[in-house]
A and B are shown apart, each in its own frame.
Chain A
């Protein structure tokens, strides 16, 4: 008799997502599905809006990574205007995007994952939380708070607010950076670097305790996608697409993001609203890839900043070719935080960053625009078409988490096969299925960001619908 295990909900908002684990007659996991059960609809309801409203509208997709949508959307609008924005404006957008990556990675690592990493996957859920971390390792917790503050304060200094800033506009940014704000940001750099380095040093020792999780958390061959600079360096604002295979082989390089639709398609499944992007030349079955911090570190030639490059060299000692275990998304996030801080310092050290020339003004010169940037969770694509009045007639968004959809499903299957057998559903298994999802830090409108505050239920259900066993954590 086949059975099914359901984890529902996995997210903060009701109905957002759930996991089902399908068991065969012997009780072994034969399939796993990560269902995203909420329809967002942003692509549809923005039709008819003025194109220049899009950045601000799109930033409302998310409260954690609004800056990423703001930037990708503004770049799509730049393409519609057919302008080359001033260099200072591009660099200010870079600073804001890096600050966004820093604060989002800090949230993921310190608030959501450090309880598992510090206290262990089998620790009592009553202690495996922010307070548990504060009690066991207060300086680590303070570093997390400090890094998230650092990123958010930069966003606020530039955009006037921490969440949903409207400062990035088609053609550039709305206002130049003041010397006062630049100096405030620079003053925070040394402490931010120290905080990150301390955490990296701690984490590199801590992962020694997670060999089993490293081996089983979405650890499989795949391709990896992201933007790179002209010399293959880490680039989160602009650049060209690079796709590497699991051995480190280059599958695509310096691919113009404007051509994304030629190479990347999307399919759907009846059990989830989230689409499955894939690399068209390899086909639906074999064309899956990963994006985000781990992918970026796997595809680049170098970070391009000194400390981050030292850490990257050490990171790459873990394997030959690409680093395949998704557990190492955590490690990659810390290296990207380090890179972001160093890069912000470089950008702000240039006197031209205070230039007043920060916006190009034009009327629409094209009927179509594509904007691509690296969000904290990976490559983000906004694509719009407009009519003669400048109203949106069509929009396509490929969100970073979507790129990882196939990998997340396969990752859950791998983890479940390792930890679940028959009706022996333990709390440790539940924790690990949550944890493998959390390595990707998926953003289904803040999905796993608050997983612990919703009741989590694992059900063993017989084919006839009988609930054989239920495990619930409130």
Chain B
């Protein structure tokens, strides 16, 4: 079983929606063996249930709508069972709770799952992040390091500003 799986999700051609990909690239660039597998993807697809079920901890990194731009939010992901996650579950695309729930349904294993999201501001046809989203990346990397070394306590959940 792998220790951790970090999944950056979004569209890297649509500005801040590519934040997850940027974070995964930064983690890859560090070339540090921290026991985590890294994955960047456009969508969470059902076949990701297999690597999710094989991990002790899964960290999802995504952009989020809302204000203030650049705000980081950390929250636990609770597995949802079947119909709770509809109608998306009819498709080939899932959200984090549904993916963790699907892993549970298929393999009977539920990893500790955490979603780290950053509120974006601009979603143009661009591979670049906005200034606000870019300024949040160092904070996300610090959070990921903390999450890899310890379990998120109540103090880590909720929101925090970049910096």
A126 to B81, CA, bound (A): 11
Q: Give every chain B residue within 8 A of A449 (Cβ-Cβ).
A: 91-92
CB distance from B131 to the nearest CB of A (A): 28
A450 to B92, CA, bound (A): 7
Q: Give every chain A residue within 8 A of B82 (Cβ-Cβ).
A: 126-127, 129, 131-132, 134-135
A452 to B91, CA, bound (A): 6
Given contacts A127-B83, A129-B86, A142-B106, is CB(A107)–CB(B92) below 8 Å?
A: yes
Stretch at the interface among B41-49, B133-141, B145-153, B154-162: B41-49
A127 to B83, CA, bound (A): 6
CB distance from B101 to the nearest CB of A (A): 7
Stretch at the interface among A94-102, A144-152, A321-329, A372-380: A144-152
Q: Give every chain A residue within 8 A of B105 (Cβ-Cβ).
A: 131, 134-135, 138, 141
A250 to B142, CA, bound (A): 66
Interface size grouping (class) on chain A: 20 to 34
Contact of A275 with B by CB under 8 A: no
CB distance from A294 to the nearest CB of B (A): 22
CB distance from A452 to the nearest CB of B (A): 3
Closest chain A residue to B81, Cβ basis: A131
Contact B46 A130 (CB under 8 A): yes
Q: Give the interface SS of chain A, mostly helix, strand, loop or mixed.
A: helix
Contact A138 B88 (CB under 8 A): no
| Per-residue contact bits, chain A 238-249, to B (CB 8 Å; 1 contact, 0 not) | 000000000000
Q: Give the interface SS of chain B, mostly helix, strand, loop or mixed.
A: helix
Q: Give every chain B residue within 8 A of A144 (Cβ-Cβ).
A: 46
Tell me the chain B residues, 101-131 only, with Cβ under 8 Å from chain A: 101-102, 105-107
A277 to B92, CA, bound (A): 29
Q: Give every chain B residue within 8 A of A84 (Cβ-Cβ).
A: none
Given contacts A130-B46, A135-B105, A145-B49, is CB(A453)–CB(B91) below 8 Å?
A: yes
Contact of A111 with B by CB under 8 A: yes
A63 to B43, CA, bound (A): 10
A309 to B45, CA, bound (A): 32
Contact of B50 with A by CB under 8 A: yes
A453 to B105, CA, bound (A): 20
Contact B42 A63 (CB under 8 A): yes
A452 to B92, CA, bound (A): 10
Interface size grouping (class) on chain B: 20 to 34
| Per-residue contact bits, chain B 80-98, to A (CB 8 Å; 1 contact, 0 not) | 0111011111111100000
Contact of A115 with B by CB under 8 A: yes
Q: Give every chain A residue within 8 A of B106 (Cβ-Cβ).
A: 134, 138, 141-142, 145
Choice from B83, B87, B101, B102 contacting A453 with Cβ under 8 Å: B87
Q: Give every chain A residue within 8 A of B92 (Cβ-Cβ).
A: 107, 111-112, 449-450
Contact of A451 with B by CB under 8 A: yes
Q: Give every chain B residue within 8 A of A107 (Cβ-Cβ).
A: 92
Contact B87 A452 (CB under 8 A): yes
Contact B83 A126 (CB under 8 A): yes
Tell me the chain A residues, 425-474 only, with Cβ under 8 Å from chain B: 449-453, 474
Contact A163 B42 (CB under 8 A): yes
CB distance from A376 to the nearest CB of B (A): 14
| Per-residue contact bits, chain A 157-173, to B (CB 8 Å; 1 contact, 0 not) | 00000110000000000
Q: Give every chain B residue within 8 A of A162 (Cβ-Cβ).
A: 41
Q: Give every chain B residue within 8 A of A16 (Cβ-Cβ).
A: none
Closest chain A residue to B92, Cβ basis: A111
Q: Give every chain A residue within 8 A of B101 (Cβ-Cβ).
A: 131
A132 to B86, CA, bound (A): 11
Tell me the chain B residues, 40-86 only, with Cβ under 8 Å from chain A: 41-42, 45-47, 49-50, 81-83, 85-86
Contact A450 B90 (CB under 8 A): yes
Choice from A135, A145, A163, A451 contacting B90 with Cβ under 8 Å: A451
A130 to B87, CA, bound (A): 10
Most chain A C-beta atoms within 10 Å of own C-beta, residue among B81, B83, B89: B89
Contact A149 B90 (CB under 8 A): no
A141 to B47, CA, bound (A): 10
Choice from A127, A134, A146 contacting B102 with Cβ under 8 Å: A134
A130 to B104, CA, bound (A): 13
Tell me the chain A residues, 89-138 only, with Cβ under 8 Å from chain B: 107, 111-112, 115, 125-132, 134-135, 138
CB distance from A431 to the nearest CB of B (A): 11
Given contacts A127-B83, A134-B106, is CB(A149)–CB(B91) below 8 Å?
A: no
14 A-B residue pairs with Cβ-Cβ distance under 8 Å, sorted by A, are A107-B92, A111-B92, A126-B86, A130-B90, A131-B81, A131-B83, A135-B82, A141-B105, A142-B106, A145-B50, A449-B91, A450-B91, A452-B86, A453-B90
* B residues with CB within 8 A of A: 41-42, 45-47, 49-50, 81-83, 85-93, 101-102, 105-107
Beyond A107-B92, A112-B92, A134-B106, 4 additional pairs, beta carbon < 8 A: A141-B106, A145-B106, A148-B45, A453-B90
